[in-house]
C-alpha cells in the first residue's frame, strides 16, 4: 500500500503543479510552449505503447496525427461543424485508417513494418496534396479559433495529457499490456504460448493511432491552420514523436512526458537562439559577433536538433528514464542500489 501511494504521489503532485501553473505564469509565449509540451506528451505516450511496449517501431505517426487534424479541419471546412467534434472523431478516423493498415502490415516484422508506416504517411501526404477540391491541397485549411485566450486550450491539453498517461498506465498493467511486452521480447515465444500476436499488435496500433489522432485534432483547434506539409511531416511529427519517446525512455510510463518536456524546450531553445540570450548579450555588450551568433543559431536550429539526435542515441540509448540508474551513477556519483 505505501508503495502504491508513493507511486501515485509524484505524478499527482506534478499534475496539480501543472494545473496551477497558469495562475502564476500569464505570459502567452510560455503558455504556448506548455500546450505544445502537453500535446507531445500525448503523442509520445501513444508512440511509446506501440514501439516501446509492443516493439513495433512506427515511423509514420504523422499519418495518424494528420488524420485527426484533417478530420477536425474538414468537418469545419465543408460542414461548418465546430472543429471540437474532431477531438471526438479524429481519434476514430485515425483508428479507421490504422486498423486495415495494421491488419495487412503486421505480417511483416521489424524494420519492414517501420518502412511500411513511412510509406503510409507518404501516401496520405501525397493524397492530401492531390485532392485539392476536398482538402484545399497545398493551400491547407484555415479555421477561426474558438477562443482568443490560450487558457482553455491549456486545460484541454492538460486533461488530454493526464488522460493519456493514466490510460497508458492502466493498459500496461493490464493483461494486454503484458502481452504487448511479450511480443516485443520474443514474438515466436509469445505465439507458442498461444497469444494471438496479430490481434494484440492491432490493439496496440489502435491505441496509438487513437491518441495520436486526438492530438492532431487538438493541434487543428489550437493552431487554426494545417496543410499537408505541416501535419504529415516526417521530421516535425514522426521523427519528433520517436525522439520524445527515445529521449525520455522507451518502455517506461513517464518517459515520454520527460522526453516531451526536454524536446519542446530544446527545439524552442534552438529556434529562438537560447530564448534570445545571445541577442540580449549582443545588445548589452554592443558586440556584433554575439548578435551574429544569435542569427546563426536560429538558422541552424534543425542542425542542432540533428546533432542532439545523434548524441542522445549514442550516449543514452534507453532514454533518460530508462538509463536513470546509469545517469545517477555517472553524473551524481550515487550508487544505483541505494
Cβ proximity to another protein, 82 vs 318, nearer residue? 318
Q: Which of 52, 86, 98, 259 binds another protein (CB under 8 A)?
A: 52
Among 159, 307, 334, 336, binds another protein (CB under 8 A): 307
Task: State yes or no: residue 116 binds another protein (CB under 8 A).
Answer: yes
Binding mask 282-301 for another protein (x = CB under 8 A): -----------------xx-
- Report the alpha-carbon distance of residue 302 to residue 325 in Å, rounded: 30
Q: Half-sphere exposure (CA, 13 Å, Cβ side) for 168?
A: 32
- CA distances from residue 224 to 69, 141, 146, 201, 328 in whole angstroms, order as listed: 10, 8, 9, 34, 43
Give yes or no for residue 100 binding another protein (CB under 8 A): no
CB 243 within 8 A of CB 259: yes
Strand-pair partners of 225: 142
Give residue 114's Cα distance to chain centre. 17
Residue 128 CB neighbours (<10 A): 26
* Shortest Cβ 119–another protein spacing (Å): 5
User: Is residue 164 within 8 Å of 46, Cβ to Cβ?
Assistant: yes
d(CA 205, CA 54): 9
Q: Is the CB of 106 or the CB of 222 nearer to another protein?
A: 106
Applying the rule CB under 8 A, the residues between 227 and 266 that interact with another protein are 234-235, 239, 242, 246, 250-251
Give the angle subtended at the CA of 298 by the CAs of 293 and 303, to the nearest 5°.
Answer: 100
Residue 221 or 267: the one with the smaller Cβ distance to another protein is 267
Q: Tell me which stretch binds another protein (CB under 8 A): 21-29, 66-74, 257-265, 308-316.
A: 308-316
Tell me the closest approach of the beta carbon of residue 266 to another protein, in angstroms. Answer: 14
Question: Does 104 sit near another protein (CB under 8 A)?
Answer: yes
Phi, psi dihedral angles at 335 (to 5 degrees): -80, 140
Q: What pairs with residue 141 in β-bridges?
A: 226
Among 139, 199, 302, 336, binds another protein (CB under 8 A): 302
How many residues sit in the footprint of another protein (CB under 8 A)? Answer: 44
Cβ-contact 115, 59 below 8 angstroms? yes
Nearer to another protein, 12 or 104 (CB): 104
Query: 204, 212, 211: which is closest to 182 by C-alpha?
Result: 204
For 215-226, the three-class secondary structure string (H helix, E strand, C coil) is: HHHHHHHHHCEE
Least distance from another protein to the Cβ atom of residue 251, Å: 5
Q: Which residue has the cell 506534478?
A: 14
- Shortest Å, Cβ 68 to another protein: 22
Least Cβ distance, residue 294 to another protein (angstroms): 15
Nearer to another protein, 13 or 325 (CB): 325
* Footprint on this chain of another protein (rule: CB under 8 A): 51-52, 55, 57, 59, 104-105, 108, 110-112, 114-116, 118-119, 122-123, 126-127, 129-130, 184, 234-235, 239, 242, 246, 250-251, 299-300, 302-303, 305-307, 309-310, 313-314, 317-318, 322
Amino acid at each position: 500500500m505505501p508503495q502504491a501511494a508513493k507511486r501515485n504521489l509524484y505524478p499527482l503532485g506534478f499534475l496539480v503543479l501543472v494545473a496551477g501553473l497558469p495562475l502564476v505564469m500569464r505570459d502567452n509565449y510560455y503558455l504556448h510552449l506548455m500546450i505544445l509540451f502537453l500535446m507531445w506528451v500525448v503523442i509520445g505516450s501513444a508512440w511509446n505503447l506501440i514501439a516501446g511496449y509492443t516493439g513495433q517501431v512506427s515511423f509514420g505517426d504523422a499519418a495518424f496525427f494528420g488524420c485527426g487534424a484533417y478530420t477536425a479541419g474538414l468537418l469545419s471546412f465543408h460542414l461548418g461543424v465546430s472543429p471540437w467534434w474532431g477531438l471526438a472523431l479524429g481519434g476514430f478516423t485515425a483508428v479507421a485508417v490504422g486498423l486495415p493498415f495494421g491488419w495487412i502490415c503486421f505480417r511483416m516484422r521489424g524494420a519492414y513494418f517501420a518502412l511500411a508506416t513511412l510509406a503510409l504517411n507518404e501516401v496520405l501526404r501525397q493524397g492530401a496534396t492531390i485532392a485539392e477540391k476536398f482538402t484545399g491541397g497545398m493551400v491547407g485549411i484555415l479555421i477561426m479559433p474558438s477562443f482568443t485566450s490560450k487558457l482553455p486550450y491549456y486545460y484541454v491539453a492538460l486533461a488530454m495529457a493526464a488522460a493519456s498517461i493514466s490510460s497508458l498506465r492502466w493498459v500496461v498493467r493490464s493483461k494486454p499490456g503484458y502481452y504487448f511486452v511479450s511480443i516485443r521480447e520474443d514474438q515466436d515465444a509469445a505465439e507458442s504460448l498461444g497469444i494471438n500476436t496479430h490481434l494484440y499488435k492491432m490493439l496496440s496500433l489502435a491505441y496509438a493511432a487513437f491518441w495520436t489522432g486526438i492530438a492532431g485534432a487538438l493541434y487543428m483547434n489550437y493552431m487554426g491552420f494545417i496543410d499537408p506539409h505541416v501535419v504529415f511531416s516526417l521530421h516535425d511529427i514522426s521523427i519528433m514523436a520517436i525522439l520524445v519517446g527515445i529521449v525520455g525512455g522507451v518502455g517506461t510510463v513517464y518517459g515520454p512526458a520527460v522526453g516531451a518536456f526536454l524536446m519542446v524546450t530544446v527545439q524552442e531553445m534552438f529556434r529562438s537562439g537560447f530564448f534570445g540570450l545571445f541577442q540580449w548579450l549582443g545588445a548589452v555588450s554592443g558586440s556584433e559577433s554575439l548578435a551574429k551568433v544569435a542569427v546563426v543559431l536560429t538558422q541552424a536550429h534543425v542542425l542542432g536538433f540533428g546533432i542532439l539526435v545523434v548524441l542522445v542515441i549514442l550516449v543514452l540509448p534507453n532514454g533518460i528514464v530508462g538509463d536513470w540508474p546509469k545517469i545517477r551513477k555517472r553524473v551524481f556519483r550515487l550508487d544505483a542500489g541505494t
